[in-house]
């Protein structure tokens, strides 16, 4: 189950880190869908919200508000079907214009020519999750939050398009046939446990026991898949985790990777099923146990293959693994390796500045406050110290914010709310010239926090300070290098919901 408005750490299946997924979209690039609308309460595929200047849609006379109903006599239900049908050279496209008039437009096009339009949604309607997982984060959100935050999906189409993790318990025969017909690979599967009894206990549905048969159906359809295990102490860890890893390893090459992420709990959880979060010692034990498997895999086929969520290392107060551990970050958007990649991107810009110094420098003392979740505080302070060593007249204060909204145990930047940030800023001993916030805390495509407090409201509270968001390590250094001119632009590809703000 996923909720696309919540960061990965905050979703029922993928308690990864503070971002939303965006993998698996490459085959459909060019047929954009507006991210926040794709997963809202109001759905429907085919409605155009933006036409690319000079593109095919503009040439055909299409405009925002028009809806594409069918292509070559096939009613298109989602972005996948549209892309498949639109690959033909000769197109008959049924369009309903904003005024209700319908028109059949016939035209020839190049095989790889794109429509040049962005759609309001990626699918006609979300396939809902019917499980009652003991760790479902959507069930742990605060009451009276906007309805779209309570949407749970278990939709294989969103798994392919955006890398959402699915449990396979809500799949139908027709779904598997579509996966095979359209060659939808890779997918992202929340396994949790191979043991049928343990998985049923976690997902609280009898269909969870069929995980082996479900994986076999994917494999028989020629599908490869990434896997995830939300680790719950005393339930699917220890010997059960060893069994799950061993049996997933035996399913290579269909299994592309395994991610193990710790369960997250907010103060709003009412479920009586006991869940215990990992502490320093138990996180350290998980790391040690997994290192045995990781060494085996690297020796056998040259990849780590099994990756731990960054929270394990942060909780255990251990150094984040180096770059080669992550093998190109196959599960980056599940929070696996976010910290290391952030540091890597920062260091690259730092080196560039040394060899090609910016013409800009602060002519007088300039102070920037950096807002972050508690988990990101240590490494951001280290990076800030390095930046101050390179940039004259710059002072950087990193402010880890305790999450009063969801609870102190929720410590990632992507779940900070606007009012918690406001409180932290008002409690500063001194004001600053600039304030940096994590873009992961904002809704994709909007300057609004999870509590519906807006970035403009925050700016109004501090009129003498410039407030901007930062997305990654490279942008973080660029912002520090010249915050006077820095401007955050939410230019995420509409096909990729990457909210990797900073852990």
Chain segment 427-473, per-residue pLDDT in tens: 999 999 999 999 999 987 789 999 999 999 999 999 999 999 999 99
Burial track 129-160 (b if 16+ CB lie within 10 A, e otherwise): bebebbbbbbbbbeeeeeebbebbbbbbbbbb
Whether a cis peptide bond, with omega within 30° of 0, leads into 253 is yes
User: Is the pLDDT higher at 39 or at 360?
Assistant: 360
Write the CA distances from 21 to 40, 127, 158, 305, 503, integer angstroms: 16, 17, 10, 19, 14
Give the mean pLDDT of 369-390: 96
Residue of 191, 209, 181, 193 whose CA lies nearest to 255: 191
The DSSP code for 2 is B
Average pLDDT over residues 482-501: 63
Q: Residue 446 CB: number of other CB atoms within 10 A? A: 12
Alpha carbon distance 481, 324 (integer Å) = 28
State mean pLDDT over 29-56.
Answer: 65
**pLDDT at 8 exceeding the cut of 70:** no
Sheet strands side by side (includes 48-51): 31-33, 117-119, 48-51
> How far is Cα 227 from Cα 256, in angstroms, rounded to an integer?
8
* pLDDT tops 90 at residue 39: no
Q: What is the pLDDT of residue 503?
A: 59
In the predicted model, is pLDDT for residue 497 greater than 70? no
CA angle 52, 56, 61 (to 5 degrees): 85
Look at residue 146 in the predicted model and tell me its pLDDT: 72
**What b/e string do you get for 416-441 counting C-beta neighbours within 10 Å, with b at 16 or more?**
bbbbbbbebbeeeeeebbbbbbbbbb
* pLDDT in the model for residue 32: 45
Torsion angle, alpha carbons of 177, 179, 180, 185, to 10: -170
Output the pLDDT for position 160. 95
Decide the pairing of beta strands 306-308 and 255-262: parallel
Cβ–Cβ < 8 Å for 420, 407? no
In this prediction, residues 378-382 reach a mean pLDDT of: 96
Does 399 have pLDDT greater than 60?
A: yes
pLDDT score of 324 more than 70: yes
Which CATH number applies to 341-481? Answer: 3.40.50
CA distance 305 to 241: 15
User: Measured at the alpha carbon of residue 383, what is the angle toward residues 379 and 387, in degrees to the nearest 5?
Assistant: 170
Residue 26 reports pLDDT greater than 90: no
CATH of domain 45-119: 2.30.42.10
Q: Is the pLDDT of residue 396 over 80?
A: yes
pLDDT mean across residues, the chain:
88
- Give pLDDT, residue 379: 96
Of the given ranges (4-18, 279-293, 344-358, 410-424), which has the lowest mean pLDDT? 4-18
Domain with CATH 2.30.42.10 in the chain: 45-119
Please state the length of the chain. 503
pLDDT at 23 over 60: no
Mean pLDDT for the stretch of residues 343-367 = 93
DSSP-derived 3-state class of residue 198 = helix
Q: What are phi and psi of 424, to 5 degrees?
A: -65, -40
pLDDT of residue 40: 38
Q: Are 372 and 399 in contact (CB under 8 A)?
A: yes
**3-state SS, residue 462:** coil
The rounded distance, in Å, linking the Cα atoms of 85 and 475 is 39
On whether the CB atoms of residues 64 and 56 are closer than 8 A, the answer is no
Q: What is the mean pLDDT of residues 89-116?
A: 94
Q: Which of 109-123, 255-269, 364-378 has the lowest mean pLDDT?
A: 109-123
Question: For residue 212, is pLDDT > 50?
Answer: yes
**Sequence ranges of the chain with CATH classification 3.40.50:** 341-481
Average pLDDT over residues 237-257: 98
Give the model's pLDDT for residue 151: 79
Do you find a cis peptide bond into 453, omega within 30 degrees of 0?
Answer: no
Average pLDDT over residues 8-21: 29
Q: Could you tell me the pLDDT band of residue 31, with boundaries at 50, 70 and 90?
A: very low
Two tokens at 151? 């949407």
**Region of 317 on the Ramachandran plot (φ > 0 left; ψ -120 to 50 alpha; else beta):** left
pLDDT band at residue 418 under the 50/70/90 scheme: very high
Q: Which of 487, 171, 497, 467 is nearest to 334 (CA)?
A: 497
Q: Give 377's Cβ-side CA count (13 Å radius).
A: 11
What is the pLDDT averaged over residues 170-192?
96
At 290, give phi and psi (nearest 5°). Answer: -75, -25
pLDDT of residue 357: 87
This prediction has a pTM of: 0.87
């Amino acid at each position: 189950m996923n909720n696309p408005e919540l960061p990965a750490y905050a979703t029922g299946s993928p308690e990864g880190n503070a971002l939303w997924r965006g993998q698996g979209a490459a085959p459909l690039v060019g047929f954009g869908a507006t991210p926040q609308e794709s997963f809202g309460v109001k759905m429907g595929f085919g409605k155009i919200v933006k036409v690319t200047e000079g593109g095919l849609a503009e040439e055909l006379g299409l405009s925002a508000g028009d809806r594409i109903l069918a292509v070559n006599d096939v009613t298109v239900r989602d972005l996948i079907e549209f892309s498949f049908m639109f690959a033909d050279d000769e197109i008959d496209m049924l369009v309903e214009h904003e005024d209700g008039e319908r028109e059949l437009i016939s035209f020839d096009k190049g095989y790889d020519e794109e429509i040049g339009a962005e759609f309001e949604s990626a699918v006609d309607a979300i396939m809902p999750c019917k499980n009652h997982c003991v760790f479902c984060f959507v069930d742990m959100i605060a009451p009276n939050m906007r309805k779209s935050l309570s949407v749970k999906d278990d939709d294989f189409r969103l798994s392919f398009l955006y890398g959402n993790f699915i449990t396979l318990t809500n799949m139908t025969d027709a779904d598997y046939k579509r996966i095979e017909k359209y060659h939808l690979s890779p997918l992202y599967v929340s396994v949790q446990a191979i043991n049928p009894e343990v998985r049923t206990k976690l997902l609280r549905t009898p269909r969870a026991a069929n995980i082996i048969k479900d994986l076999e159906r994917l494999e028989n359809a020629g599908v490869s898949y990434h896997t995830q295990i939300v680790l719950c102490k005393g339930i699917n860890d220890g010997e059960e985790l060893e069994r799950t890893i061993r049996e997933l390893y035996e399913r290579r090459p269909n299994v592309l990777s395994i991610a193990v992420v710790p369960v997250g709990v907010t103060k709003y959880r009412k479920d009586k099923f006991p869940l215990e979060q990992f502490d320093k010692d138990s996180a350290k034990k998980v790391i040690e146990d997994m290192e045995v498997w990781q060494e085996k895999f690297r020796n056998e086929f040259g990849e780590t293959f099994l990756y731990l969520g960054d929270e394990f290392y942060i909780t255990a107060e251990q150094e984040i693994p180096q770059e080669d551990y992550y093998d190109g970050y196959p599960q980056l958007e599940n929070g696996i390796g976010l910290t290391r990649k952030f540091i890597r991107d920062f260091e690259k810009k730092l080196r560039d500045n040394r060899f090609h110094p910016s013409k800009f420098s602060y002519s007088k003392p300039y102070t920037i406050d950096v807002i972050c979740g508690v988990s990101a505080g240590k490494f951001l302070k280290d990076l800030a110290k390095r930046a101050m060593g390179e940039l004259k007249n710059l002072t950087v204060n990193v402010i880890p914010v305790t999450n009063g909204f969801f609870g102190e145990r929720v410590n990632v930047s992507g779940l900070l709310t606007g009012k918690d940030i406001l409180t932290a800023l008002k409690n500063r001993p001194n004001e600053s010239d600039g304030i940096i916030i994590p873009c992961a805390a904002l809704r994709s495509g909007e300057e609004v926090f999870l509590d519906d407090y807006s970035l403009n409201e925050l700016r109004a509270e501090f009129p003498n300070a410039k407030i901007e968001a930062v997305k990654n390590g490279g942008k973080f250094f660029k912002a520090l290098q010249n915050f006077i001119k820095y401007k955050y632009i939410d230019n995420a590809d509409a096909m990729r919901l990457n909210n990797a703000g900073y852990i």
